[in-house]
Amino acid sequence: MFIVTGGAGFIGSAVVWKLNLSGIDNILIVDNLGESEKWKNMVNRSYTDYMHKSAFLEAIRKKGFGKIEAIIHLGACSSTTERNAEYLMENNYHYSKAVAKYALENGIRLINASSAATYGSGEIGFTDDLLKLNQLKPLNMYGYTKHLFDLWALREKIFDKLVSLKFFNVFGPNEYHKGDMCSVIFKAFFQVKETGCIRLFKSYHPEYLHGGQQRDFVYVKDCVDLIGWLLENPGVNGLFNVGTGQARNWNDLAHAVFKAMKVPGKIEYIEMPQTLRDRYQYFTQAAMEKLAVAGCPLGFSSLEAAVGDYINNYLQQTDCYL
């Protein structure tokens, strides 16, 4: 059995899609569906069972599972604007530690989701070198709880027994339910359909033009290809960035959307909410050398190719799910 926590969510449901493509359907999806629309991500997928995240936590504490091939732990609150620190501590940090301890005690392959939000403003760069882990200063509570798990794994000296992946700006199919946390590509597509215009935040940093803020945008299909490779190579462990290694600016992204939709481009620069200005990342770019040294042969899609696939094969289609 493979267990995917957050398996009805964005990256989690894409992992289930990847497993299904590999002929694997003995999968337990762990999530918290509530009243969300995430269930739609499960309709096209083949899996054995679904379990609420609280029931799963109780089960692993009672050691109530048989043989498990791997746990892909993607379940978390991923909102960078969530202010309930107690909730984030329990849901993102303590829950993840419980999952990791269970996996390690039972010899189960564990792939955990960390985040590029752990890098904060990027003042010391974006290297996944464990020697620099203690220097990071996340700008939001979400990033901090992800960072706490990585620090715990470092203190416990267990990075040789698990994988923690620092995802950069992931976008692609099955993200529709994320609300404000949906990618700008997703939002831009519907902005263009409704108004013919894409709205981007103004820059408040003298080194960046409006729309010139840069991100490492990575396609969800490439992310799950990497997870598939890690499942096939259980000897590869550690902390790894997941990005393209090439920062692109928001204007590039907007023009990729216009090109994919075959419409003329129009960009409007809007004020950034005051609450975001002191926590905004102006530049992210994953250092990818460590993954290459580990032997990973995979490449990553260009922004233009990924946006084209996402828009033409999903957002433009009636059945827009993986």
DSSP state of 207: T
Catalytic residue among 142, 176, 219, 314: 142
Give exposure, 197-228, as e/b (b: 16+ Cβ within 10 Å): ebebbebeeeebebbbbbbbbbbbbbbbbbbb
Question: Which residue do the tokens 């580990």 mark?
Answer: 294
- Would residue 93 show up in a list of annotated catalytic residues for this protein? no
- Would residue 144 show up in a list of annotated catalytic residues for this protein? no
First to last CA, the chain: 21
Which helix or strand (DSSP H or E) is residue 251 part of? Answer: helix 250-261
Catalytic residue among 178, 187, 259, 290: 178
Give exposure, 64-88, as e/b (b: 16+ Cβ within 10 Å): ebeebebbbbbbbbbbbebeeeeeb
* CA distance linking residue 104 with residue 108, whole number of Å: 6
- Transcribe 1-66 into DSSP letters: -EEEETTTSHHHHHHHHHHHHTT---EEEEE--TTSSGGGGGTT---SEEEEHHHHHHHHHTT---
Q: Which residue numbers are catalytic? A: 142, 178
